[in-house]
Structure 1
């Protein structure tokens, strides 16, 4: 463990989509600051991430769940609460564009898959955790959105993340006086290791690669800094919103895209 501050000492935190990428980084960093973390994912890789935290002296355990269904979310939140003794912080990180292509090239099945992946896990987990936080007298929810609410070649994903933003603000308005803060962080393009389990494992042809490159080019062009962010930069923003350092912040969408506000 490192010598950073211990903002989350004694806090019980759930991080979804924690097997890879931003979610994994958030779980690692939160544990390093004292949180007892439940890492939730449908990939078995989440067990490796939890084991790494424990090996480093932190407190963590893994839950395998498919959060695209209400039942999966309810079971995961109930299990985490039982082990943690309650939930102080929920970071809803599940999501991510599956296909990158102009809207007219999406079919019905693909559009529905994008919405199920990037909206419903956040919706279901917010619904599952809210009664627990209200009963406890407070809590902090951080939803991971995206600056791709304004972007090309991922309209269904953009729509899902726009809905996450609306969910965040409305839920914050309903629950601020009950002690539950709800915020969102909207990452821009982020450098990360190659995903061990890709969102889309289909072979990409030349056209698919061109559409993907157009997304990369647009993302860098609309960032004032003309670069992708790092996992650490995204995690820092998410954990700020989760922490008591942001105790007077709720209903806020924080863009972390090098100046691109989405």
Structure 2
């Protein structure tokens, strides 16, 4: 069994824990998230392709990077400042025999996003799949508690970053290539304590559907994934210890999902398996029924 297959338990509950700042550190989590399922066999679904993933150092982003690599893709990924997590993800991609490029920076900066795309194309020889995934969330009980600074940071990270990266990537994408955006279950049911976050995720849905229509004639597909409660560093970096201990218990499956259970959605939407799908969203959310 390879190193990437060692952590395979899907716990029904996780112990309460907190981290002091977002987006959080995966190495500090207990238990560690599962980023690839034991026995997952690649089938060259992304052979010869190059992917760029924002928020790729941990959580869902790490799982997507490892799955993409196992499917034959070279991977560039963006992270903010989580150097230890980024090094681990890079090692996991390299263990799959693929090339990897780490890109540290803030997706709120349009010039950085442009540079990240350009570096990916230069170092890895092109760009075929863009995964927009970076995000932050800051709970507040009242709209009046969301100040301008928080609103701007949430919107600029969760939405502007997606827009900047898609805009920079578009000149390099061609027929058969794909963009996959991470939205959220909160897009569809809202969240009383994550009003600004849920709003950005709704904007991402609008971007996904609108861009899909614009690019359909070019053969470039744009889709989304709307996870429910997934065990990532963002959770202990967002909620109180007691909230973390209850995380995932509200869905029909009565447990938090694992990044590995979400990453396969990205593989499907990035590959030719979804060649007749665009403007759509997949819902790995533990059984919560939502519209759209």
1:232 to 250, 257, 260: 260
CA distance in 1, matches of 2:171, 2:246: 40
Q: Are 1:213 and 2:253 counterparts? A: no
Where has structure 1 moved over 6 Å in runs of 4 or more?
none
Match of 1:130 in 2: 170
RCO comparison, higher one (Cα < 8 Å, 6+): 2
2:135 to 88, 92, 95: 95
* TM-score, reference length from structure 2: 0.77
After superposition, the CA RMSD in angstroms is 2.5
Match of 2:43 in 1: 5
Q: Are 1:25 and 2:25 counterparts? A: no
Given the superposition, is the C-alpha separation of residues 184 and 215 from structure 1 closer, same or farther in structure 2, using an over 3 Å criterion?
farther
Instruction: Answer whether contact 2:69 2:96 (CA < 8 A) is retained.
Output: no
Unaligned runs of 5+ in 2: 3-39
Aligned length: 248
How much has 1:120 moved relative to structure 2?
1.2
**1:1-262 equivalent positions in 2, closer than 5 A:** 3-43=41-81, 44=83, 45-133=85-173, 136-149=174-187, 150-192=190-232, 194=233, 209=240, 213=243, 220-221=249-250, 223-260=251-288, 261=290
Unaligned runs of 5+ in 1: 201-207
- Map Cα deviations across residues 161-219 of structure 1 (whole Å, 9 max, x no partner): 10000000000000101111000101111023x569x756xxxxxxx739x839956x6
CA distance in 2, matches of 1:180, 1:71: 24
Query: 3-state SS of the aligned residue for 2:226?
Result: strand
How much has 1:127 moved relative to structure 2?
0.7
Higher helix content, 1 or 2: 1
Query: 3-state SS of the aligned residue for 2:163?
Result: helix
Instruction: Answer whether contact 1:102 1:154 (CA < 8 A) is retained.
Output: no
Query: 3-state SS of the aligned residue for 2:48?
Result: coil
Match of 2:29 in 1: none
* TM-score, reference length from structure 1: 0.86
